[in-house]
Amino acid sequence: MYTSHEDIGYDFEDVPKDKKTLKSHPNIDGGWAWMMVLSSFFVHILIMGSQMALGVLNVEWLEEFHQSRGLTAWVSSLSMGITLIVGPFIGLFINTCGCRGTAIIGGLVNSLGWVLSAYAANVHYLFITFGVTAGFGSGMAYLPAVVMVGRYFQKRRALAQGLSTTGTGFGTFLMTVLLKYLCAEYGWRNAMFIQGAVSLNLCVCGALMRPLSPGKEGKDPAGRDPQVPPAHSTESVKSSGQLGRADEKEGNPGREETLGDLADQACPEEAGHRKNMCAFRMLKMVSQLTLRVRKGFQEWYSGYFGAASLFTNRVFVAFIFWALFAYSSFVIPFIHLPEIVNLYNLSEQNDVFPLTSIIAIVHIFGKVILGIVADLPCISVWNVFLMANLTLVLSIFLLPLMHTYASLAVICALIGFSSGYFSLMPVVTEDLVGIEHLANAYGIIICANGISALLGPPFAGWIYDITQKYDFSFYICGLLYLVGILFLLIQPCIQIIEQSRKKCMGGTQV
């Protein structure tokens, strides 16, 4: 629903709207589809990997600005939260510019946010430059990367999403090492400036997001019909013919004078015609753009608030409720683990192999393995998804009880593997609402995740400022997360009971 016809990846036959059938594109599940996986992989490295490594910069900001942990944590939370919260609204950009254009613009905005943050004078300045600007740019590049992979794959969706989203794990490991090195060698300001230059690679990733257009015969590579000659005015054709014939006959002064007169008359007419054509093309382009924006907004609005609203799907509403609490339980360890390690006097061991890197590396294997298992014909994607969530909740509850590096490493590995369910989220969403509503629905889910990421780390910092411990923040977030999972489990049961009741009532009436 977010994109124009050529971005969708399917060709609808000329039949009534309620009887449209999907025509598979030859690149689906092969060919350029794997380039889309590669593009999305690097988007996850540059966006999600960088955000998961912000704990390194969080320590630098605490030392630089001498603000409370709760206030400083808002910088990272704003960046993560806005990246996901803007998901439902990025559809308007995708409808106007397509997935490719939206991702390229997002890369430029994200890079600008990093560069401007290098000149921050206080934490509040970072709220705007890094939290809002870089976060908004990240959101513009992130959603197209996830949605396009979903459109290019049908049979191996979970595996494709798993491979592409492993970029988060690779990125967390690489960006943690990179930011630590840059901060130690050049200071955190120059580190952010360099990271801004690195983020420009998002534009390259966006350029790889080629639309799945059906490809029309009889057109040249530029998309023009070769049988139609370039448009020229009658006067210019006549003058060209007369000029050509005049050139063939040299040595005739009368002809040369006639040639000069005709050329003088034709030039002003050609210039005026070209100006009119240019103005006409500009008006046509503006009119088409206006129509596309209006149509895109109508589809976007009807998808969220119309008769076909996604909110009429009860299980999907339960999924949103789960997403509101799920992501903070994963984000809080990344933001606050570097400081927790310092509080436990484990800095030397953590410097050798950071705990966040353990989460990142195991997270990679978790996504791939869970994706492969979920694609097995005898396995339900929902069962894999729910088991991984329950394991992550258990890990969050156990984390505050561990005070040695070895025990923390085991729990971090468990967190990393179980959080691999992120690769299943687009698949589960598609199963709930269908491929035609995937972009709208997934935008809502990541928006809910964004709210969770926005509020989670500052809440943990605020709890620490009051209690001087991080333990209670993990317990509270884990409890809310568990409530979300239970709500996700109960809602389908209620729906099954209601359907059974309707059948029984129908049988009684008969």
Q: What is the pLDDT along the chain (510 residues), one digit of tens a residue?
A: 333 333 333 333 333 333 333 445 666 777 788 899 999 999 999 998 898 888 889 889 988 998 887 788 888 888 888 888 887 788 777 767 788 899 999 999 999 999 999 999 999 999 999 999 999 999 999 988 988 887 888 777 778 888 888 888 788 888 988 999 999 999 999 999 999 999 999 999 999 998 876 544 334 433 333 333 444 443 343 344 443 444 444 445 444 445 455 445 556 566 666 667 777 777 777 777 677 667 666 665 665 555 456 777 788 888 888 888 887 777 777 677 877 888 888 888 888 888 878 888 888 888 889 888 888 888 888 889 999 999 999 999 998 888 899 999 999 999 989 988 888 888 888 888 877 777 778 878 888 888 887 787 778 878 888 888 888 888 888 888 898 888 888 866 666 666 666 666 665 555
Residue 373 identity (one-letter amino acid): V
pLDDT at position 270 is: 65
CA distance 77 to 15: 48
CA distance 210 to 206: 9
Q: Is 116 helix (H, G, I), strand (E, B) or coil?
A: helix
Block residue for tokens 């994963």: 330
CA distance 478 to 463: 14
The CA-atom distances, in angstroms, between 71 and each of 58, 74, 326, 455, 463 are 11, 5, 22, 11, 12
3-class SS letters over 11-42: EECCCCHHHCCEECCCCCCCCCHHHHHHHHHH
Residues 6 or more apart whose Cβ sits within 8 Å of residue 359: 169, 172, 333, 334, 412, 413, 415, 416, 419
Going along 374-449, which residue ranges are E strands?
none
Residue 382 identity (one-letter amino acid): W
CB 126 within 8 A of CB 75: yes
pLDDT at position 409 is: 92
* Strands 22-23 vs 11-12: parallel, antiparallel or unpaired: antiparallel
pLDDT at position 390 is: 92
The CA-atom distances, in angstroms, between 149 and each of 35, 225, 261, 402, 475 are 9, 31, 62, 39, 36
Q: What angle do CA 291, 215, 34 make, to 5 degrees?
A: 100
CA distance 477 to 466: 16
Q: Which domains does the chain have, with CATH numbers?
A: 26-211+289-307 (1.20.1250.20), 310-509 (1.20.1250.20)
The CA-atom distances, in angstroms, between 176 and each of 83, 142, 316, 370, 372 are 19, 20, 35, 25, 28
Residues 6 or more apart whose Cβ sits within 8 Å of residue 349: 405
Residues 6 or more apart whose Cβ sits within 8 Å of residue 101: 93, 206
CB 90 within 8 A of CB 450: no
DSSP 326-379: HHHHHHHHHHHHHHHHHHTT-HHHHHHS-HHHHHHHHHHHHHHHHHHHHHSTTS
**Helices (H), ranges, 249-346:** 253-305, 314-343
Structure tokens given for 485: 């999972």
Structure tokens given for 332: 């809080």
CA distance 133 to 139: 10
CB 367 within 8 A of CB 166: yes
| Cα–Cα nearest to 356, from 116, 129, 51 | 51
CB 92 within 8 A of CB 293: yes
Model-level pTM greater than 0.85?
no
DSSP assignment letter at 455: H
CA distance 15 to 341: 63
Structure tokens given for 133: 């600007």
